[in-house]
Structure 1
Amino acid sequence: MLHKVLRIHPEDNVLVALSDLKKDEKISFEGKDIVLTSHVPAKHKFTMQALQSDDKIYMYGIIVGKAVKEIAKGEVITVDNIAHQTAPYTGKRKPFSWKAPDVSSWKNRTFDGYHRPDGQVGTANYWLVVPLVFCENRNVDIMKQAFVEELGFAKPNPYKSFVKEMKQMYLEGNREGLHEAGVASLEQSGEQKLFKNVDGIKFLTHNGGCGGTRQDSEALCALIAGYINNPNVAGATILSLGCQNAQPAILKEKLAKIDPEFKKPVIILEQQEEGTEAQLLTRAIQATFLGLADADQLRRKPAPLSKLTIGLECGGSDGFSGISANPTLGQVSDMIAALGGKTILSEFPELCGVEQELINRCSTDAQAEKFVQLMRTYAASAEAVGSGFDMNPSPGNIKDGLITDAIKSAGAAKKGGTSPVKDVLDYTEIATRPGLNLLCSPGNDVESTTAMAGSGANIILFTTGLGTPTGNPVTPVIKVASNHRLAEKMPDIIDVDTGAVISGEKTIEEMGNELLDYIVQVASGKVQAKAVLLNQDDFIPWKRGVSL
């Protein structure tokens, strides 16, 4: 049975509307009646008692805002009557203990993955083609045109025939037909892949590598090294111009830092050394083709779930994300931690207000101090240009109930579950310790997913309440809807629907088990995530500056 309202934590002084509520409607909650003074849309919150100016707003048991004027009992909270506010944070304040979930039924489960020489296991098998500098983007695009269709990796494009149909109607003078034409259903390509054990060649272009700061080029090389190291990658072809800041020597240094005995094939070619474009591309195509042939020799084999490294992401969030989808990811994160695997929680601007809880969960004082330093440095860099974490919620977030960054963050942090924080990583650092890892990245969806794949995620879970197509070139991105309506409206991008938590049909624990089972199917190559089917290959390196 669907309840009308929810109190997330016993200390909260606002209730969440689980469905649209009308003005003057009487809400009975825990033996008390609240008469609504205004319409409260589903996902939004209203006060349990009258508040004075400067009174604190509590959700998830923490401070998420303050009243900026008198708010009546039963009044909806909005950007007009509350403002962002959080509690201060310091070092570890109290000891932390954790009771791991029961994962006995998962202990012997495996997924079929690609085993790498360094012990990592991929959920996919890709070859990368990446430029060290934007000057080589065109050459990368030419290689893409040469490889993708000829080797059977091209995805069908129904819009080409749609345009062709409309062109013909236009030439025939059929203007009425133009308004009635439509796209035919998406059909699978009839082209057979030449290399059946290679999931694809991924061509990653960007606008970095020269200009900007030397630190940006260093970070770009570290990110590319992380992508080459990702367990889903078999090898890489790197195109360099020759004179740019992001030098091949830096990339090699970053690879050696990850693993002094790095064994994956990495082909590096410089245009200024090779001579003509034709000479460069001929060598690059020959070497890449041979690399693909070698990568095709690998076969999927069983691996324990401890070999999973799962990125935890949210984007296009709504007022239900922190109640259904994000806690479901938190349940999966705890299960993976209990099984000896790794999870990665990023988006530091969306941890604003929950810092103390995460600090207390850090396994060592050094990790806690690193987290504090990274958060304060990031916040200061935003404030230095007249911005701040409080400006994080997007118009879509606000419209669907996430009024302040602290409200958004309190729900977003639920993706990290309740397990101890085993490591704190700066941007481009690799996740090596089993358990929950915190990774410094922006809240921007693509910059964050780009970062998690660079830090070793071989699966990314991405919650959304409003819908977003974001994917990643090398790591399958599984989209998790917070509500039934989204899952029904955008089935082409949603993989798993957690709306049953809102309707009361399923518990977080049940949804966690359902999601983990789906993860195993995707990791084994038996099911393709919707973002993979759509060829949604989003890649944006973070220039170390202000990006919320």
Structure 2
Amino acid sequence: MSARVLKVHPADNVIVALRNLAAGEQIEFDNAVYDLPYAVGAKHKFVTEDRQTGDPIIMYGVLVGKATQPIRRGEPITTFNLKHDADRYGLDKKQPYSWQPPDVSKWEDRTFMGYHRADGSVGTRNYWLVVPLVFCENRNVLILKDAFERELGYAQPETYREQVHELLSLYKAGDLNVIKKMEPFVDEDQNKTLHHTHQSVNRPFKNIDGIKFLTHEMGCGGTRQDSAYLCSLLAGFINNPNVAGATVLSLGCQHLQVDMIEAEIKRQNPKFDKPLLLFEQQAGTEYALMSQAVKETFLGLIEANKIERKPAPLSALTVGLKCGGSDGFSGISANPAIGQLSDIVVGLGGKTVLAEFPELNGVEQELINRTADDAKAQKFITLMGDYSAQAEAVGSGFDMNPSPGNIKDGLITDAIKSAGAAKKGGTAPVADVLDYAEPIKTPGLNLLCTPGNDVEATTGMAGSGANVILFTTGLGTPTGNPVSPVVKISTNTVLKNRMPDVIDFDSGPIVDGEQSIEQNADALLDYIVRLASGEEITQAERLGQDDFIPWKRGVSL
């Protein structure tokens, strides 16, 4: 890879700047010389030939936009001279597709130490889950959270409470000016803070990685469809292989009834046999409800603690593939790296899942070509079409997906963002297409309909059964998940160094020319094996970043 610029695909008519390029510079690349009339920031692109109004801009080998005004050779593409555009797609344009799996021989005998469930799935974590069927129970869930986490050693460190206590002491002593002149608090042992393990000596249940408490704003008052989707999602979380058992709180009169969640759990997984504790508040007093829930949950934890990690093949991994806070390097470093990892996992017989349908805009035909089953390809077309139409009906659209941060860092149109985002799915054939909250059952690459919204997407992947999620980011985001470890992968080393308390793994060496995509993917998979075995924890787990937002099927990009 050139140290200064990169052309991603031979058919492209743009070149990516890997470093800041100054106005007036001459760039030599691929036997051509380009005079830059304007500065081109790192992650941005300049055109390789003159473009007239309406001319196509090609990147990743696909149409990503059309010029809205003349663009001279060497000029950067911007929101002022380019608008989103993408090619039409459909079954009528489907082309044959063949796949050469990567060599997986060095991984075939590798195992991770996982929690084996009775239904044959394997967890990378052993969590107990506490969930409300309706928002009315959020208070009770949070009270249980405080009680269990503090007493059983799962509570977050009281660092900030101690800081408030120090400030309060100064205030009570009348030292307001001292407070105003204080230097910011400093983490004096940051290295230790970043790398401590989650196995606390104060935890009585050594085989339980945590008790996870979900809250939400649904379950009643919305549409019956909203409650049905929530039911499927909660059932999916309870069925997730990382969950050993669950405590479910119900008010009693809401749309989402206890019998509905029981039926949906069994529908999704006829072999379900985990402990499922159900409590209704309208059956008596709040005290009676909570006291019973405390006792029965504690007994459930005793049983869950008897489960121990045992060796499992890498084919037992179900890996979610996500990007958020993307930048102009996402599609050339971290995303291709986890795409390569996805191909390895698929080659080993495991499952991977590519979500974020608004961020597949412009690469639909490639995915259709990779879907051998025409019925599944049509399901993908229908889901994409319905989603796009719903967004357009309220005056939005997939073309409005890139955020200001995305645009600032080189993702000018949704098609550019999408073409880079799709690299997360590697090159394997599409084995199945799933709607939101459908369980992942088919080995291979799965497409799952979710928004691009970070938390709604990761929530959906965990609800469909992902036991680990890979999350690439170029700008930095703390996103985590209650039951599935979320591995934050930086697209550039500058980000890794700036936000070490958020980032878990660095794909920046690809941009810097220090590693190939294949080498970076191998290093990442080695990390995932340790993570799945409980030898590593993610920064999101360390921070207690348990983000959970159900998608209400409204317009969310």
| TM-score range normalised by the length of the shorter chain | over 0.9
Counterparts of 2:158 and 2:444, CA distance in 1: 41
Counterparts of 2:421 and 2:338, CA distance in 1: 10
1:146 maps to: 147
Q: Does 1:536 align with 2:545?
A: yes
2:304 maps to: 295
Counterparts of 1:286 and 1:24, CA distance in 2: 73
Counterparts of 2:25 and 2:158, CA distance in 1: 50
1:198 maps to: 208
Task: Provide closer, same or farther for how the CA distance between residues 144 and 356 of structure 1 changes in structure 2, counting only shifts above 3 A.
Answer: same
How far 1:146 moved relative to its partner? 1.2
Does 25-34 or 61-70 show the bigger shift? 25-34
1:375 maps to: 384
Code of the residue aligned with 1:180 in structure 2: it is E
How far 1:261 moved relative to its partner? 3.3
How far 1:180 moved relative to its partner? 1.7
How far 1:154 moved relative to its partner? 1.0
Q: Does 1:510 align with 2:513?
A: no
How far 1:172 moved relative to its partner? 3.0
Q: Deviations over 1:290-316 (max 9, x none)?
A: 110000000000000000000000000
Q: Does 1:239 align with 2:249?
A: yes
Counterparts of 1:499 and 1:48, CA distance in 2: 25
Of the candidates 297, 319, 323, which is equivalent to residue 328 of structure 2?
319
Counterparts of 2:229 and 2:372, CA distance in 1: 27
Q: Does 1:212 align with 2:214?
A: no
1:333 maps to: 342
Does 180-189 or 519-528 show the bigger shift? 180-189
Code of the residue aligned with 2:51 in structure 1: it is L
How far 1:191 moved relative to its partner? 6.0
| 1:149 counterpart SS class | helix
Counterparts of 1:183 and 1:284, CA distance in 2: 40
1:255 maps to: 265
Does 183-192 or 237-246 show the bigger shift? 183-192
Aligned residues: 547
How far 1:177 moved relative to its partner? 4.5
Counterparts of 1:259 and 1:128, CA distance in 2: 17
2:51 maps to: 51
Counterparts of 2:32 and 2:123, CA distance in 1: 54
Counterparts of 1:212 and 1:80, CA distance in 2: 41
Q: Deviations over 1:463-514 (max 9, x none)?
A: 0000000000001111100001000000111111011100111100000100
Query: In 2, are the aligned partners of 1:124 and 1:232 still within 8 Å (CA)?
Result: yes
Q: Does 1:13 align with 2:13?
A: yes
2:418 maps to: 409
Q: Does 1:361 align with 2:365?
A: no
Of the candidates 448, 464, 473, which is equivalent to residue 455 of structure 1?
464
How far 1:184 moved relative to its partner? 4.1
Q: Does 1:23 align with 2:23?
A: yes
Counterparts of 1:432 and 1:199, CA distance in 2: 25
| 1:148 counterpart SS class | helix
How far 1:173 moved relative to its partner? 3.5
1:85 maps to: 85
| 2:151 counterpart SS class | coil
| 1:431 counterpart SS class | coil
2:436 maps to: 427
Q: Deviations over 1:213-271 (max 9, x none)?
A: 11110000000000000000001010011111111121112111112232111111111
Q: Deviations over 1:157-203 (max 9, x none)?
A: 31111111122222334323543251444656976111110011100
1:164 maps to: 165
Q: Deviations over 1:29-65 (max 9, x none)?
A: 2222110111100000011111000000100000000
Q: Does 1:32 align with 2:27?
A: no
| 1:288 counterpart SS class | helix
Q: Does 1:386 align with 2:395?
A: yes
Counterparts of 1:8 and 1:518, CA distance in 2: 27
Query: In 2, are the aligned partners of 1:361 and 1:420 still within 8 Å (CA)?
Result: yes
Counterparts of 1:385 and 1:165, CA distance in 2: 50
Q: Deviations over 1:415-442 (max 9, x none)?
A: 0000000000000000111110000000
1:117 maps to: 118
| 1:87 counterpart SS class | coil
1:496 maps to: 505
Counterparts of 2:397 and 2:285, CA distance in 1: 48
| 2:288 counterpart SS class | helix
Counterparts of 1:12 and 1:494, CA distance in 2: 31
Counterparts of 1:381 and 1:253, CA distance in 2: 30
Q: Deviations over 1:6-47 (max 9, x none)?
A: 100000001000000011111112222110111100000011
2:103 maps to: 102
1:176 maps to: 178
Query: In 2, are the aligned partners of 1:240 and 1:270 still within 8 Å (CA)?
Result: yes
Q: Does 1:75 align with 2:82?
A: no
Q: Deviations over 1:89-112 (max 9, x none)?
A: 001611110000001000000000
Query: In 2, are the aligned partners of 1:162 and 1:183 still within 8 Å (CA)?
Result: no
Query: In 2, are the aligned partners of 1:346 and 1:440 still within 8 Å (CA)?
Result: yes
Query: In 2, are the aligned partners of 1:342 and 1:436 still within 8 Å (CA)?
Result: yes
Code of the residue aligned with 1:97 in structure 2: it is S
Query: In 2, are the aligned partners of 1:345 and 1:438 still within 8 Å (CA)?
Result: yes
Q: Does 1:520 align with 2:523?
A: no
Counterparts of 1:339 and 1:220, CA distance in 2: 33
Query: In 2, are the aligned partners of 1:221 and 1:254 still within 8 Å (CA)?
Result: yes
Code of the residue aligned with 1:515 in structure 2: it is L
Code of the residue aligned with 1:517 in structure 2: it is D
Of the candidates 275, 285, 292, which is equivalent to residue 283 of structure 1?
292
Query: In 2, are the aligned partners of 1:13 and 1:49 still within 8 Å (CA)?
Result: yes
Counterparts of 1:542 and 1:69, CA distance in 2: 39
Q: For structure 2, list consecutive stretches of 5 or more residues without a partner in the other structure.
A: none
Q: Deviations over 1:133-156 (max 9, x none)?
A: 000101111111111100111121
Task: Provide closer, same or farther for how the CA distance between residues 366 and 207 of structure 1 changes in structure 2, counting only shifts above 3 A.
Answer: same
Of the candidates 342, 345, 358, which is equivalent to residue 349 of structure 1?
358
Counterparts of 2:479 and 2:372, CA distance in 1: 32
| 2:150 counterpart SS class | coil
| 1:180 counterpart SS class | coil
CA RMSD of aligned residues (A): 1.2
Query: In 2, are the aligned partners of 1:227 and 1:454 still within 8 Å (CA)?
Result: yes
